[in-house]
Amino acid sequence: MDSYRKNDNPFKGSYKTLESLVDRISDVFQCPVTIEDANHRLLAYSKHSEETDQARIQTIIGRRVPEKVINSLWKNNILPKINRTDDPVRIPHIEEVGLGDRIAIAIHKNDDILGYIWALEVEKKFTDEDFSLFKLAAQAVKNQLLPIKGQQNETDEGMKDFFWQLLTGTIHSKKEVRDKFAEFHILPPTRFSVVVLQFHESITQENQQQISYLLLTTQQLKIIFHVIDEREVILLTGPYKDEISERHLTTFIEEFISHMKKRFNIESIAGGCGTIFEDYLEVERSYQEALTVLQSKKRFPEEAARLLSYQRLGIYRYLDIVLAKNRLEKYENHSLKKLKQYDLEHHTQLFQTLETYLNFDSNMNEAAKALHIHLNTLSYRLKRIAEIGEVNLRDAFQKVALFIDLKLEQLQEKERL
């Protein structure tokens, strides 16, 4: 490295490609170097000797940093430290994810991160003088990344417009869909689903950066497109590798919510996904299904809290249809009406008892715990419910009908508020 230090800046000059620049940086520091974008996708890497680490090898093979490495860097508070400063940061080895000793620097433009430089400490430690040179290398890389960032922004806007066309069903031809994907050089996965993530408050510019980071670093699903609409993040997802299943979708939603909370202190996010389809003209349908999941979670925050998939909504899919039919026919459940009237006159809790009992799928022990009453008390109340409401709680069909009508009662009560 000493031969380069005779010059003020060994990275001056123009570079035709990032590859030529990363090789220059590697020559100066005599170590393996990689350049990544802000979402840890590999942009360029230098040659390396046999003395490298598993994390670097996996990054080069997969063209992005493995998710387990990213998660480890967050858990150990390393990435937040790198992101907060313009100075290089020394990173000790993390054996469980195959990460050797290295230094890293974030490349900033104002408050935005354009990318990162990582350099392995193979034969000897970097000195303070090396750290000063590393900042000059970061400036040279920044000059290369700025034009790339501008071109990417233009492409992103066109992709968002196309995605909105799919979401709103304004494209009616499969050929037009194929042509649009080809225009953006995207090979559409054979199967897809729409995922919607709903925030409690409007999504800020800072939130957008955090969201984009998580979406582009996840390896649970392939994020084909994403758009942000006030409080919602709408995603078109496909399989990351070979297959996409409901479990892949729900795991992704759970981990996204968890990461937003742990890494960025953002809570109260709800998520839902539509059915997995093969025909891209069905994007609108999958989108509306995901919105139905979110609507059910809003209407029934306790009962539907764990529901993430349209395929798991059960009776919540039919409530609007049944409610419309009931209103048309002016239908009223006489058993529930009698129980409510009895409670009002005698200051009892038979209506609530029935609702809790059915919510726990007729599990006496769980229902008694939820109601904070003895099992014998619950048994007595159920007997009175059967007598006053003239219902047979051993008849599955009657219980299902009562359960649906109870949910409709809840729904109408919330509409009146």
Per-residue pLDDT for the chain (417 aa), expressed as one digit of tens each?
545 554 578 898 888 888 999 999 998 888 899 999 888 889 999 876 666 788 888 888 888 888 888 888 988 889 889 998 999 999 988 988 889 889 999 999 887 888 999 999 877 788 888 898 999 999 999 988 887 766 666 667 788 889 999 999 988 899 999 999 998 889 999 999 999 999 999 898 888 888 988 998 888 899 999 998 889 999 999 998 878 999 999 999 999 999 999 999 998 999 999 999 999 999 999 999 999 999 999 988 888 889 999 999 988 999 989 999 999 999 999 999 999 999 999 999 999 999 999 989 899 999 999 999 999 999 999 999 999 999 999 999 999 999 999 999 888 887 776
Q: How far is it, in rounded angstroms, from Cα 297 to Cα 300?
A: 5
pLDDT of residue 330: 92
- CA atoms of 249 and 265, how far apart (whole Å): 23
- pLDDT the model gives residue 4: 52
Give residue 82's pLDDT. 92
Rounded Cα–Cα distance for residues 176 and 392 (Å) = 57
pTM of the predicted model as reported, rounded to 2 decimal places: 0.72
Q: What is the pLDDT of residue 7?
A: 55
